Amino acid sequence: MNSLDQFVLAVIKSPSQYTELDQIYVHNRILGLVGEGDVVAAADEELTSLVDALVTTACQNGKIEDTPSDKEILADQLMDMVTPLPSVLNQSFWDKYQASPQMATDYFFNLSKTNDYIKTRAIAKNVSFPAKTEFGDLEITINLSKPEKDPKAIAAARNQPQDGYPLCQLCMQNEGYLGRLGYPSRSNHRIVRMMLGGETWGFQYSPYAYFNEHSIFLDQVHRPMVINRQTFTNLLEIVNQLPHYFVGSNADLPIVGGSMLSHEHYQGGRHVFPMMKAPVVRAIDLGVEGVDAGIVKWPMSTIRLISKDVVALTDAAVKIHESWIDYSDESVDVRAYTDGVRHHTTTPIAYKDGENYVLDVVLRDNQTSTEFPDGIFHPHQDVQHIKKENIGLIEVMGRAILPARLKTELAEVGKYLLDQPNQMVDMHKKWADQLKSTNIITTENVESVVNAEVGNVFARVLADAGVFKWDETGEAAFDRFVAAINE
Ligand SMILES: [Zn+2]
């Protein structure tokens, strides 16, 4: 049996709409996609291997060009054949949900892996390690999963009109979209519909996941990110519906937000982040009955709200958010507005702890200055050799997503520390010299020394992004803000 026949059987066995009777039809549909020449053998019987073989077959038959874009589009068309229709998938999800929310997400998550929507093979290339710091064990990851874009695709993406179809990669219109040069293929993409605050939202997994069951919750309407009462309500409603998941929103301003400000969305998943383990060090009184509030021992200025009552919790969060929007404290460089431009917002994160709902509200300020042109509360120049990108939701919670370049660069730093021939990039030299002077470095410990120090740099990165620092001045300033909330 060749890989085409094997794939036909897999399609019929899959939870797709096809049955035994459809065998000839499915065979011919695949022939139409890959062409009628010799069929390339697959490495094994895994679905991804069968699809790889069929994609190579299509290249040989001249059905597609041997380009990343063409190959991805065809692979996802084939994977679409093993995937239930959106209507069927939604029905199954909510049927299983009746038994338990976790059974429903397990079903959807496994399906999204099986049909290669979640790029499990690419994600496996990521580097990840824990790093002990004064703020607990942070999580360091080096992101190697996103494929290098080929220049033709980048050029095509640049030339696309802003009002193209789909409007953006977070729009529902991506479900089943074929894709094109410079725009990802989404034939095998599925979205679960859920109701939030009387409106339809989509729930999907992230193809290049940064942590377990990394999910995206997206507004059915293409409209800009915003943090307001509805955001807090929606986040709490999501963890009410999926109590085994956390969910958070990126801030709604540049520099302190994520990379997609044009489409309202949240990110969630099944992972306990370092920030969630960080303790409350000072209880505070926000004057909202039934809500416990406190300052979290965390490099980014965070108020934790805990309650069984989601309405009270939302009231408390709104109180903090609205106070912060207008709050300035020149003594610590905190300014709500300059020249009429707003700088303040929050990054909220919700999760359940037993019967309690927890809402962590992180204060953000996106000012820039002559001294800090990239941002006053953004990684400063001296740590940008490790991280210069925006500190978004995932990193706020203590999981570093470091650029791919660091994998080779840190190996060169290691060689430098061992006085071996190396090609260390100049920008790491000051840091490396400091490591050399404070550590006894051997071939046995060099990797763990470098990793630990990357952890310390990441803690510094987060501290830079924190508006109130952990020193006498910063803590006093935090207390003044808390007092101002109640005024
Ligand atoms: Zn959109």
Q: For residue 263, how far is its CA from the centre of ligand 1 (angstroms)?
A: 5
Average of pLDDT values for 52-74? 97
Within-domain flag for 230: no
pLDDT at 295 over 90: yes
Residue 340 lies in a domain: no
> Does 78 score more than 90 pLDDT?
yes
Give pLDDT, residue 399: 98
Give the pLDDT mean for 397-403: 96
Distance in Å, CA 301 to ligand 1 centroid: 31
Report residues near ion ligand 1: CB below 5 Å.
Answer: 167-168, 170-171, 222, 263
Residue 162 has pLDDT above 80, yes or no: no
In the reported structure, the alpha carbon of residue 171 is separated from the centroid of ligand 1 by a whole-number distance in angstroms of: 4
Question: What tens digit of pLDDT does each residue of 279-294 get?
Answer: 999 999 999 999 999 9
User: Could you give the CA distance from residue 3 to residue 45 in angstroms, rounded to a whole number?
Assistant: 8
Residue 7 is assigned to a structural domain of this protein? yes
193 Cα–ligand 1 center, Å: 16
Tell me the pLDDT band of 255, cut-offs 50, 70 and 90: very high
- Sorted by sequence, the CB contacts under 8 Å of residue 145 that are 6+ apart come out as 119, 122, 123, 125, 126, 208
Ligand 1 centroid vs 265 CA: distance in angstroms? 9
Q: Has residue 476 been placed in a domain?
A: no
pLDDT of 164 over the 90 cut: no
pLDDT (average), residues 135-160:
84
Residue 47 lies in a domain: yes
How far is residue 234's CA from residue 452's CA, in Å, rounded to a whole number?
37
Q: What separation in Å is there between the alpha carbon of 222 and the centre of ligand 1?
A: 4
CA of 406 to the centre of ligand 1 (A): 32
Range in 17-26, 92-101, 160-169, 421-430 with the lowest mean pLDDT? 160-169
What band does 151 get if pLDDT is binned at 50, 70 and 90?
Answer: confident
Residue 117 inside a domain? The answer is no
Question: What is the pLDDT of the chain when averaged over all its residues?
Answer: 96
State how far the Cα of 1 lies from the Cα of 23, in Å rounded to an integer: 14
Pairing of strands 199-205, 136-142: unpaired
Question: What is the Å distance from ligand 1's center to 260 Cα?
Answer: 9
Distance 204 CA to ligand 1 centre (A): 14
Please state at what angle helix 101-114 crosses helix 86-99, rounded to 10 degrees.
140
Residue 348 CA, ligand 1 centroid: distance in Å:
21
Residue at token pair 């520099």 = 255
Ligand 1 centroid – CA 374 distance (Å): 27
Q: How confident is the model at residue 258 (pLDDT cuts 50, 70, 90)?
A: confident
Indicate whether 35 belongs to any domain. Answer: yes
CB atoms within 10 A of CB 177: 18
Residue 199 confidence (pLDDT) above 90: yes
How close is the Cα of 167 to the center of ligand 1, in Å?
Answer: 5
Write out the residue range of the structural domain in which residue 45 sits. 3-80
Domain count, the chain: 1
Rounded Cα gap, residues 2 and 53, in angstroms: 10
Q: Is residue 206 part of a domain?
A: no
| Residues, the chain | 487
- pLDDT computed for residue 152 by the predictor: 80
Residue 306 CB: number of other CB atoms within 10 A? Answer: 18
